[in-house]
Chains A and B, each alone.
Chain A
Amino acid sequence: MSYDAYLEGEPVIITAALTGGIHGKEANPNLPETPEEIGRAAGAAADAGAAVVHLHARADNGERSFSTDRFEAIDEAVRRHADDVVIQHSTGGTGVPAEQRAQPLRTDPPPEMASLDMGPLNRYEYLTSENTRGLVDALQAEMRDRGIKPELEVFNDGHLNEVHGLLDRRDLAAPVYATLIFGGGTLTPPRPRNLLNAVDNLPDGALFNTLGFGRHQLPLTTMGILLGGHVRVGLEDNVYYRRGELADSNAQLVERTARIAEELGRPVATPSQARKILGL
């Protein structure tokens, strides 16, 4: 992917990260947590232009869940409200045993995509999500066996090395799809030149998706569109619409991104187009 993709007006895939697993309604009361809330949010996001929904599971009190049954309940609700959207499950989980990290891959039917964290990252003061190479390989193997496309989550530049290492160790179906993530802490510092650098260091032929946390969501995803990439927005990554103003919904963030993409000359990909682009 390159600036040429922008010049040629190739469709941009918008992924809506609807709920996440870190903050919840205490950060923004509009963040969906129950299966029905997530399903309705998926429907509205799809109507606004999202082709992919990135899903975590939660208990009714907002706390993290990794159970296959809970993911199936969420998927069923998503399908009732957005029957064609591409479903992507998270396999992230700080402090959670490997066996539970694989549970979101075991739904019936399996998700079309799932996230694959490319290495360690710190949480709070005393926790690290380790994401060892052994765990990455085991999750990738299960994804391969179940026909699930991995979305490689690159939290910092060291994880770009891990992407190349993963490709050396394992067979991944083309095109490789990597999400470049920018924020504080262990993440790549959210600066425009760092997005350029990350794109330059991707494997040949890889597609990329841009994710900026908080106030970096809007500028860096816009830049990602200009660089010919795809983008992820949503309340998992950013609970504000603008400074001091909480977002009303995931759909509000998707609508803005779709509007910007169209203004910049890149049409918003439909789920069908997204499946073709991603090789699903």
Chain B
Amino acid sequence: MGCPYLDYRSEADGTEFDAERAYCEAAGRFVQPMRADICTDRHDIDHAEHCEIYREHEGPE
């Protein structure tokens, strides 16, 4: 399903890329490609469990 804060953009804050890249709306920045695997719940990874940005943004349950 993927992280609700994930967006794909080719430009933000004056930085441009040829291809759209993973952008974290919670952190307000493009993320590392490896972190994008967390955002997209790819492989054995789950953003709700493995992303500290998501967990911090969602706050304690």
A contact set with B: CB distance below 8 Å: 21-27, 58, 60-64, 93-97, 100, 123-127
Contact = CB atoms under 8 A, between A and B. Distances in A.
Contact of A127 (B36, B50, B55): B50
Interface string B11-46: 000010101111000000111111111100001110
Contacts of A96: 43-44
B19 A26 contact: no
B44 A24 contact: no
Contact of B37 (A25, A26, A64, A97): A64
Interface residues of B, number: 25
A26 B33 CA distance: 9
Given A95-B44, A95-B45, A97-B44, A58 B33 contact: yes
A21 B33 contact: yes
B34 A22 contact: yes
Contacts of A23: 32-34
B52 interface: yes
Contacts of A123: 34
A100 B33 contact: no
A22 B43 contact: no
Given A21-B34, A124-B35, 10 more contacts: A22-B34, A23-B32, A25-B21, A27-B32, A58-B33, A63-B33, A64-B33, A94-B34, A95-B44, A126-B55
B50 A126 contact: yes
A17 B32 CA distance: 17
Identify the interface centre among B19, B21, B33: most chain A CB within 10 Å of its CB.
B33
What are the nearest 10 A-B pairs in CB distance? A125-B52, A26-B30, A95-B45, A126-B50, A62-B33, A24-B33, A61-B19, A22-B34, A63-B33, A96-B43
B15 A26 contact: yes
25 contacts: A23-B32, A23-B33, A23-B34, A24-B21, A25-B21, A26-B21, A26-B30, A26-B31, A26-B32, A27-B32, A58-B33, A60-B19, A61-B21, A62-B36, A63-B22, A63-B36, A64-B33, A64-B34, A95-B37, A95-B38, A100-B43, A124-B51, A126-B49, A126-B51, A127-B45
A171 to B, nearest CB: 31
B9 to A, nearest CB: 11
Contacts of A63: 22, 33, 36-37
A3 B8 CA distance: 51
